[in-house]
Amino acid sequence: MAHRENINVVMTTTTTLDFDRYGLHTLPDDLAQHTALETLSAYDNQLDHIPLALCQLRHLKSLSLGHNRLRHLPDELWQLRGLQLLNVAENQIETISERIGELTELHTLDIAHNALTALPEAIGHLPNLRHFLYVGNNPLSVLPDSLGNLGQLRYFNATDALLTTLPAPLGEMRNLIELRLYNNRLLALPDTLGQLQQLRELHVQNNRLTRLPDSLGQLTNLRELRLSNNALSQLPEAIGKLSNLTCLDLRNNALTTLPYSLGHLPNLTFLDLRNNRLTTLPDSLAHLPRLEKLDLRWLKLRHYPAWLAHLEARGCVVYT
């Protein structure tokens, strides 16, 4: 696409400017004239800096500069205290200033796909951060304890990083509905996980988990539990308390047995047991009333129980 560097918009009363995919190396020279601007999007360009004129737009509420070439964010950016959404994902940013804590109106923050090795403690002190927080695809080895202060947050994504542990205060994020932590190096999940009782989806596949906390059974609103590609050798009996669970993915683990309570999940529709070390299955699985798909491929069962035929007869698809 041809570069469009000489864009000048003369209406100073406009509230929205959209420069997505314009091939820009710089933003328009007259940007500071748009004193009423509330939304500015310049996604997928070739910007390597944020002009100071942008930082003068005191009415700005939404700023999207994702998929550019930014390496740092100017201190003047934190003067935009009316910002509610900030997206600087898919850049080359190495640090975020503690001054981000001045953006007290933020409800959505996307800093994923950068080069961050640490997060500022101030992220955990943004009182209105309640919609989305994306920090994944950064070389993060730890998360700050201050995240536990984000009691209103609904969606948290810290995937594709270098995390080996999670801070215990994570359990204080009590309004979380989705928690995505896949493609890390997690060895365990904190016992405080059970405090996330609004959680509907937990994605922790592709880690190094060897055990799950008993508190998992407290997540009674959980619908999806993704645990594939870990090192689990057993599951807690408490898993049978997940009364709203519909999807349980356990493929590619080291399970040698399954708890009898697994057959006490009244809403389970999909159970994936592929490529584990199971030689038997608990008979309780025959009583899963809503099971629609059971995947048993690459298991070395001593025998296939007769009740599998009954599951198939009532419409459940069984892969062996």
Please give the domain boundaries of the chain with CATH numbers for all domains. Answer: 1-162 (3.80.10.10), 189-320 (3.80.10.10)
The confidence score (pLDDT) of residue 12 equals 58
Cα gap 27→17, rounded to integer Å: 11
In a 10 Å sphere around its CB, with 0-12 CB exposed, 13-18 middle and 19+ buried, how is residue 159 labelled? buried
The residues pairing with 248 across neighbouring beta strands, listed in sequence order, are 225, 271
E runs forming strands in the chain: 16-18, 39-41, 62-64, 85-87, 108-110, 132-134, 155-157, 178-180, 201-203, 224-226, 247-249, 270-272, 293-295, 317-319
Provide the residue-wise pLDDT of the chain in tens; the chain has 320 residues: 344 444 444 445 799 999 999 999 999 989 999 999 999 999 999 999 999 999 999 999 999 999 999 999 999 999 999 999 999 999 999 999 999 999 999 999 999 999 999 999 999 999 999 999 999 999 999 999 999 999 999 999 999 999 999 999 999 999 999 999 999 999 999 999 999 999 999 999 999 999 999 999 999 999 999 999 999 999 999 999 999 999 999 999 999 999 999 999 999 999 999 999 999 999 999 999 999 999 999 999 999 999 999 999 999 999 99
CA-nearest of 45, 1, 2 to 26 is: 45
CA 158, 161, 167, 168 torsion: positive or negative? positive
SS3 287: helix
Q: What is the per-residue pLDDT for 13?
A: 75
What are 248's two structure tokens? 């349980």
Strands (E), 170-298: 178-180, 201-203, 224-226, 247-249, 270-272, 293-295
pTM listed for this prediction: 0.95
For residue 34 the two structure tokens come to: 């748009």
Give yes or no for a contact between 52 and 31, defined as CB atoms under 8 angstroms apart: no
pLDDT, residue 3, reads: 46
Check if the beta carbon of residue 231 is closer than 8 Å to that of residue 212: no
Token output for 157: 């994504």
The confidence score (pLDDT) of residue 100 equals 98
